[in-house]
């Protein structure tokens, strides 16, 4: 069972399923699917073709987790790296650290042979932005993340995500996607959950960790996703105007999805078929 955010997530889940069928591992499947979304920069919000920050260049976030042993790798604020998900995977395999950011993350990716583009011209963009009137602040709307969750035939779980984050974000801003329990959480005993939307409204609430904990307490993935939207809306000054969406899968392979205030299309792929489904926004309580 594979579930992914947005219609373009189906590209990732279909490729991931094919990778599994060809004998690839859970991580091979997740990485392969997400690399294709990064390559295509789907919706202009993933990969180097994604949304630029306020200074006019992409800073990318990604994360990958394998359930058994909670093996994890996360990178944030990556500049000029073509496949952040592969940098995150290399960090997972390296095993020593869970997360790298900025320049150190780029060095690590280069050391591990991840494809890159030159970033020499970025320093001019950075300087020009610093010299500008920045009083208008960042835009935070209109960005999407690819998040893929996998429940393999043997019941083990894995997940990954990749994004350019919010368009016009302040340079150095890290979203929810590379934060464990923010944009992605995988617990091999219970289930996995992922997020898309405005990361600040996800990470402040450790939303995907909450979804998994609700599944541990007996909720279905659907109930857990919806309940966490209500939980956040109850506490947040924006109420339901959160622009967040969640997906989840449990150990049994049941899936769920919920959105705060918009229709949310997502992809579900199994050995017997692959479809884009959608949920309506939750009904406010
Ligand atoms: N959900 C992606 C981000 O806010 O960066």
The CATH number linked to 54 is 3.60.20.30
Q: Are 228 and 211 spatial neighbours (Cβ–Cβ below 8 Å)?
A: yes
Q: Would you say residue 284 lies in a domain?
A: no
How far apart (Å, rounded) are the C-alpha atoms in residues 16 and 184? 18
pLDDT at 229: 98
User: What does the alpha-carbon distance between residue 144 and residue 147 come to, in Å, rounded to a whole number?
Assistant: 9
Instruction: Note whether residue 94 is domain-resident.
Output: yes
Are the C-beta atoms of 275 and 268 separated by less than 8 Å?
yes
Residue 92 Cα, ligand 1 centroid: separation in angstroms? Answer: 21
Helix axes 207-216, 221-235, angle to 10 degrees: 130
In a domain, 46, yes or no: yes
Phi/psi at 131 (5° precision): -85, -10
Domain of residue 65: give its range.
Answer: 2-117+139-274
Residue 141: its pLDDT value, please?
53
Flag whether 184 is in a domain: yes
Phi and psi torsions of 21, nearest 5°: -65, -30
Query: What is the distance in A from the centroid of ligand 1 to the CA of 31?
Result: 19
pLDDT at 90: 98
CA 163 to ligand 1 center in whole angstroms: 7
At residue 130, the pLDDT reads 86
Atom of ligand 1 nearest to the CA of 175: 5
Question: Is 181's C-beta closer than 6 angstroms to any atom of ligand 1?
Answer: no
- Nearest ligand 1 atom to the CA of 169 is 5
How many structural domains compose the chain? 1
Q: How far is the CA of 61 from the centre of ligand 1 (A)?
A: 8
Is residue 147 part of the annotated active site? The answer reads no
> For residue 126, is it within any domain?
no
| Ligand 1 neighbourhood includes 191 CB (under 6 angstroms) | no
- Give the residue, by CA position, lying nearest to ligand 1 atom 5: 165
Residue 64: closest CA among 16, 111, 118: 16
Pocket of ligand 1 contains residue 74 by CB under 6 Å: no
* pLDDT < 70 regions, the chain: 133-143
For residue 162, the CA-to-ligand 1 centroid distance in Å is 9
Is 168 contained in some domain? yes
Q: Is residue 123 part of a domain?
A: no
Question: CB within 8 A of 166, min separation 6: which ones?
Answer: 51, 138, 139, 140, 141, 143, 173, 175, 198, 199
Residues, the chain: 285
Does residue 130 fall inside a structural domain? no
From the DSSP assignment, how many helices (H) and strands (E) are in the chain? 8, 12
Ligand 1 binding pocket includes 163 (Cβ within 6 Å): yes
Is ligand 1 within 6 A of the CB of residue 53?
Answer: no
* 116 token code pair: 């890159």
Whether 54 is in the pocket of ligand 1, judged by its Cβ within 6 Å, is no
Beta bridge partners of residue 101, listed in sequence order: 76
Atom of ligand 1 nearest to the CA of 165: 5
């Amino acid at each position: 069972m594979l579930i992914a955010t947005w219609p373009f997530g189906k590209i990732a889940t279909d490729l991931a399923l094919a990778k599994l069928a060809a004998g690839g591992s859970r991580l091979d499947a997740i990485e392969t699917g997400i690399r294709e979304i990064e390559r295509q920069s789907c919706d202009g919000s993933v990969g180097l073709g994604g949304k630029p920050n306020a200074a006019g260049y992409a800073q990318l976030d990604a994360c990958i987790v394998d359930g058994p042993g909670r093996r994890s790798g996360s990178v944030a604020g990556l500049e000029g790296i073509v496949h952040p998900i592969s940098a995150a995977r290399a960090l997972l395999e390296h095993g020593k650290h869970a997360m790298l950011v900025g320049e150190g993350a780029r060095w690590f990716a280069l050391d591990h042979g991840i494809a890159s583009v030159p970033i020499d011209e970025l320093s001019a963009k950075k300087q020009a932005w610093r010299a500008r009137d920045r009083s208008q602040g960042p835009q935070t709307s209109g960005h999407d993340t690819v998040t893929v969750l996998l429940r393999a035939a043997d019941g083990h779980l894995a997940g990954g995500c990749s994004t350019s984050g919010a368009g016009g974000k302040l340079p150095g801003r890290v979203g929810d996607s590379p934060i464990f329990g923010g944009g992605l959480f995988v617990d091999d005993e219970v289930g996995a959950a992922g997020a898309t939307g405005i990361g600040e409204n996800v990470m402040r609430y450790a939303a995907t960790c909450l979804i998994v904990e609700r599944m541990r307490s007996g909720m279905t993935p659907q109930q857990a996703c919806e309940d966490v939207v209500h939980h956040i809306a109850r506490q947040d000054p924006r109420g339901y105007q959160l622009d967040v969406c969640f997906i989840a899968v449990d150990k049994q392979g049941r899936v769920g999805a919920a959105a705060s205030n918009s229709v949310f299309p997502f992809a579900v792929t199994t050995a017997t078929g692959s479809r884009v489904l959608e949920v309506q926004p939750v009904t406010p309580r």
